[in-house]
């Protein structure tokens, strides 16, 4: 149904999450990010948005990604229908996939990157995403996440077809880059065009000018 990646740039500490699915508006519920605290992707046959709300509270209290996944799934009676991926602020990763989710499914994780999916076209989707992310080291984090989505889609992505995607990633601006395609028949090309437009100087200058805690009157 959905394939997602959470990645971290170990040099800057920036976090990001990207996702794509065969249903509309994946960016509304699946990807979640708290700069400096962690990133969460909550998906599966049914998605539990409370995983993000409760998960960030635990991460902010110093819990590891593994401890957060265990705590969230243990208290959720619907865990068999969920798929969850968590990255803490130091790049530690953990994931869980309920037995009721539909194959092809799974999670691949190492420090600084975790990838998961369910209802996938084949078992090449997740490894191809991992390879694309690792092979683009040195590029902006959002570009690396986009490369991973492209690789997953090239291998078939969601076996029903893929129509919505999102990228949520930190960079040098005060607020994370937040790109969403809620529905498109040519999804990856549409997302690629949106990312290109977000990289243009006018939009980057706008993002850099937004007020934030360190500069609440910045403009």
Note the pLDDT of residue 218. 60
> Which is higher by pLDDT, 213 or 44?
44
Regarding beta strands 106-110 and 93-97, do their DSSP bridges make them parallel or antiparallel, or are they unpaired? unpaired
| pLDDT tens-digit series, residues 157-172 | 999 999 999 999 999 9
pTM value is 0.96
CA distances (Å), origin 83, targets 41, 76, 122? 8, 12, 17
User: pLDDT of 81-121, one tens digit each?
Assistant: 999 999 999 999 999 999 999 999 999 999 999 999 999 99
**For the chain, which domains are there?**
2-208 (3.60.20.10)
| Summary mean pLDDT of the chain | 96
Sheet strands (E) in 35-170: 38-44, 82-88, 93-97, 106-110, 113-118, 164-169
SS3 content of the chain, % helix, strand, coil (to 5): 35, 30, 40
- Give the pLDDT band (50/70/90) at residue 219: low
């Amino acid at each position: 149904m959905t394939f997602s990646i959470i990645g971290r740039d170990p040099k800057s500490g920036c976090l990001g999450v990207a996702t794509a699915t065969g249903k509309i508006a994946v960016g509304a519920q699946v990807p979640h990010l708290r700069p400096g605290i962690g990133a969460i992707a909550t998906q599966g046959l049914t998605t539990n948005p409370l995983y993000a709300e409760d998960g960030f509270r635990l991460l902010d209290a110093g819990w590891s990604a593994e401890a957060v996944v265990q705590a969230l799934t243990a208290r959720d009676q619907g865990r068999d229908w969920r798929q969850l991926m968590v990255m803490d602020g130091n790049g530690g990763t953990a994931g869980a996939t309920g037995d009721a989710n539909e194959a092809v499914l799974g999670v691949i994780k190492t420090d600084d990157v975790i990838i998961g999916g369910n209802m996938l076209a084949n078992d090449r989707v997740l490894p191809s995403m991992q390879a694309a992310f690792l092979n683009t080291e040195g590029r902006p984090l959002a570009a690396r996440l986009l490369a991973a989505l492209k690789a997953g889609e090239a291998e078939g992505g969601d076996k029903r077809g893929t129509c919505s995607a999102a990228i949520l990633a930190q960079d040098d601006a005060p607020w994370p880059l937040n790109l969403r395609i809620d529905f498109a028949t040519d999804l990856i090309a549409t997302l690629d065009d949106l990312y290109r437009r977000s990289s243009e100087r006018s939009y980057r200058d706008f993002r850099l000018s937004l007020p934030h805690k360190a500069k609440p009157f910045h403009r």
